[in-house]
């Protein structure tokens, strides 16, 4: 058992004797001060540092997690063995007590035999035995008997001495084992608590880093949002005029030329597509069919009488005033598209009406025009009147102008119901939406907004290779990620951002891409661009669609942007 106790102690020392790494060692690599003043590239650099700190902590933590798991298993085994040893110690104590009792009797016998042995040793001799014996045979028998008694006394005395020695040794071993057990128990609890504390601290720090990374990503996303079109707009009273310069047929006057074309833009891709409703109505669907296609249920009837509170106007009649002033779809759209819009607008506003909360009059809620309410176009007046009291209650009645032929709530918005007939039979294309497939180079969705001196979304071969270099530097941790910004950022700020962008030459030296010779994309059935395929001076390159879109929007000059997760790259 002494050997086993030594083994337990050595094992614990090996388990607990590792170098413990404190989370504070990594904390200095993820400084989160002054984040609000950073550019998008600087934020990305901080995110990378925080992620690196998280990864380092995870690596440093793993041996201790594994050790702790092994400790927990070993400690359970130790405790079981300690209990067994305690049982053995208790048994030994019983045996020692029994031995002490037996030894008391042995000592009494031994004392008597020692005294008799002493007396015999002095009172008996061979000569007197010879004289007292009547014959030689008797003499030898007496001598043999006496010798046997003496030998028996010697054996009994020797056994008693050995018993005393064994008992004393057992007492010493028992005391040593009890002391070792006490140390072992205390050390087990102490080391396990220390290891658990370290793992808990590491987990807490990783949780903190996760929160920091999420916060930084949110700030970075706020900048990307300015170029990704994440706010929602609708058709409005008058359809947007098409921009010939944003068409794939536009001749930029140079070659090679590249441009990112988005399917849909400025949309949450939920609920009803207004141009899709137009295309469906033109294809023969009635408004019940249209609403069920987009929201997944039939309309239901509800008492919609009474007033609604409208920001800036106060309380007004819900059906006869408010809905008449909704300016979300041109009155020139087909009747069933207008009816679908009337039901969607009514359904969306009902939650405000029911709660008494004021509904805003902008695209943040839905557009209300008081002048239109005073004199609603006949077709819109008829659509509201014909659908009075009809709502959809199975889903929130979101809607937007154009989604590119795919909605996250209902899937592919096509005649065949899947991507097999997209884009040709996409309802938005049938309806002629000017946003269905467009290259964006203006600062907002309005064609008349600032262009930063650009006349089209087309990029030169050097500018497009520059975007690929930006992707490479950003995703392979080359150079300073904080400088991946449009070269025009200081003359045409985006979302208030300015900075020190790489020149195209500097980025080319880091990325090494000097020529792009072909480009194509593949789409995912989930409604987004899966991969951008490039043939470059460095050979074929496949870039995940989301990575390419982010790199494009971070580096493209002016306000050129990809505004939808579903996009294509045109090349001429």
User: What's the pLDDT tens digit per position in 270-319?
Assistant: 999 999 999 999 999 999 999 999 999 999 999 999 999 999 999 999 99
Q: Percentage of the chain surpassing pLDDT 90?
A: 52
* Residue 216 confidence (pLDDT): 46
Tokens of 384: 């509201």
Q: 107: part of which helix (H) or strand (E)? A: helix 40-123
Q: Are 262 and 222 in contact (CB under 8 A)?
A: no
Segment 11-28, tens digit of pLDDT: 444 444 443 444 444 444
What CA–CA distances, in Å, run from 552 to 54, 242, 384, 451, 556? 28, 24, 44, 17, 5
- Output the DSSP codes for 278-327: HHHHHTT--HHHHHHHHHSS--EE----SEEEETTTEEEEIIIIIGGGB-
Q: In whole angstroms, what is the distance from residue 464 CA to residue 454 CA?
A: 15
The yes/no answer on whether domain 2-228 falls in CATH 1.10.287 is: yes
Kindly state the tokens that stand for 5.
Answer: 């106790």
How many CB atoms are closer than 10 A to CB 280? 28
Render pLDDT for 151-165 as a digit per residue (tens, 0 to 9): 665 666 566 556 666
Rounded to whole angstroms, the Cα distance separating 90 from 496 reads: 79
Q: Is the pLDDT of residue 175 over 60?
A: yes
* Mean pLDDT of the chain, nearest integer: 80
Q: According to the model, what pLDDT value does residue 276 have?
A: 97
Most confident of 44-48, 238-242, 380-384: 380-384
- Which has more confidence, 28 or 364? 364
pTM: 0.63
Domain residue spans of the chain: 2-228, 252-262+451-571, 272-431
Predicted confidence at residue 39, as pLDDT, reads: 52
pLDDT band at 179 (very low <50, low <70, confident <90, very high): confident
pLDDT confidence of 363, banded at 50, 70, 90? confident
Better-predicted residue by pLDDT, 143 or 151: 151
Please, are residues 436 and 404 in contact by the beta-carbon 8 Å criterion? yes
For residues 446, 449, 455 and 457, what is the CA-based torsion angle, rounded to 10 degrees? -50
């Amino acid at each position: 058992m002494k050997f086993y106790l030594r083994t337990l102690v050595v094992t614990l020392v090996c388990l607990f004797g590792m170098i413990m790494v404190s989370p504070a060692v990594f904390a200095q690599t993820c400084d989160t001060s002054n984040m609000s003043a950073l550019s998008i590239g600087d934020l990305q650099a901080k995110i990378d540092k925080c992620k690196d700190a998280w990864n380092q902590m995870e690596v440093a933590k793993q041996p201790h997690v594994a050790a702790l798991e092994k400790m927990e298993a070993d400690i359970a085994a130790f405790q079981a063995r300690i209990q067994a040893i305690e049982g053995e110690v208790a048994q030994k104590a019983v045996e020692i007590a029994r031995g002490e009792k037996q030894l008391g009797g042995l000592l009494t016998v031994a004392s008597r035999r020692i005294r008799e042995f002493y007396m015999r040793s002095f009172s008996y001799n061979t000569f007197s035995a010879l004289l007292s014996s009547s014959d030689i045979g008797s003499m030898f028998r007496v001598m043999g008997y006496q010798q046997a008694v003496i030998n028996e006394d010697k054996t009994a005395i020797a056994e008693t001495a050995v018993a005393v020695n064994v008992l004393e040794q057992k007492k010493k071993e028992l005391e040593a084992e009890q002391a070792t057990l006490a140390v072992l128990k205390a050390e087990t609890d102490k080391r396990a608590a220390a290891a658990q504390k370290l793992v808990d601290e590491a987990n807490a720090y990783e949780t903190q880093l996760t929160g920091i990374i999420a916060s930084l990503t949110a700030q970075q996303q706020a900048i990307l949002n300015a170029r990704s079109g994440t706010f929602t707009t609708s058709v409005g009273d008058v359809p947007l005029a098409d921009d010939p310069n944003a068409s794939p047929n536009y001749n930029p006057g140079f070659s090679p030329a590249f441009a990112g074309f988005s399917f849909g833009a400025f949309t949450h891709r939920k609920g009803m597509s207004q141009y899709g409703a137009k295309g469906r109505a033109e294809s023969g669907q009635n408004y019940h069919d249209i609403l069920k296609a987009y929201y997944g249920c039939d309309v239901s009837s509800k008492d919609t009488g009474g007033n609604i509170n409208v920001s800036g106007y106060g309380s007004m009649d819900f059906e006869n005033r408010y809905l008449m002033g909704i300016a979300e779809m041109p009155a020139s759209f087909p009747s069933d598209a207008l009816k679908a819009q009337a039901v969607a607008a009514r359904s969306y506003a009902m939650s405000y009406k029911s709660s008494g909360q004021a509904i805003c009059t902008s695209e943040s809620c839905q557009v209300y025009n008081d002048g239109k309410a005073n004199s609603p176009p006949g077709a819109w007046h008829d659509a509201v009147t014909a659908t009075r009291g009809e709502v959809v209650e199975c889903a929130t009645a979101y809607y937007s102008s154009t989604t590119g032929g795919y909605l996250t709530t209902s899937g592919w918005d096509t005649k065949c119901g899947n991507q097999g007939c997209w884009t040709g039979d996409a309802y938005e294309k049938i309806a002629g939406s000017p946003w269905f497939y467009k290259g964006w180079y203006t600062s907002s969705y309005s064609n008349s907004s600032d262009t930063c001196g650009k006349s089209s979304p087309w990029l030169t071969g050097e500018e497009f290779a520059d975007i690929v270099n930006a992707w490479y530097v950003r995703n392979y941790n080359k150079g300073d990620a904080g400088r991946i910004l449009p070269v025009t950022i200081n003359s045409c700020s985006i979302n208030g951002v300015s900075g020190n962008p790489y020149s195209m030459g500097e980025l080319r030296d880091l990325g090494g891409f000097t020529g792009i010779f072909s480009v194509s994309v593949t789409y995912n059935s989930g409604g987004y661009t899966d991969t951008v395929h490039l043939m470059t001076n460095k050979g074929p390159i496949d870039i995940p669609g989301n990575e390419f879109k982010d790199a494009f929007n971070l580096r493209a000059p002016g306000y050129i942007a990809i505004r939808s997760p579903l996009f294509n790259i045109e090349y001429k």
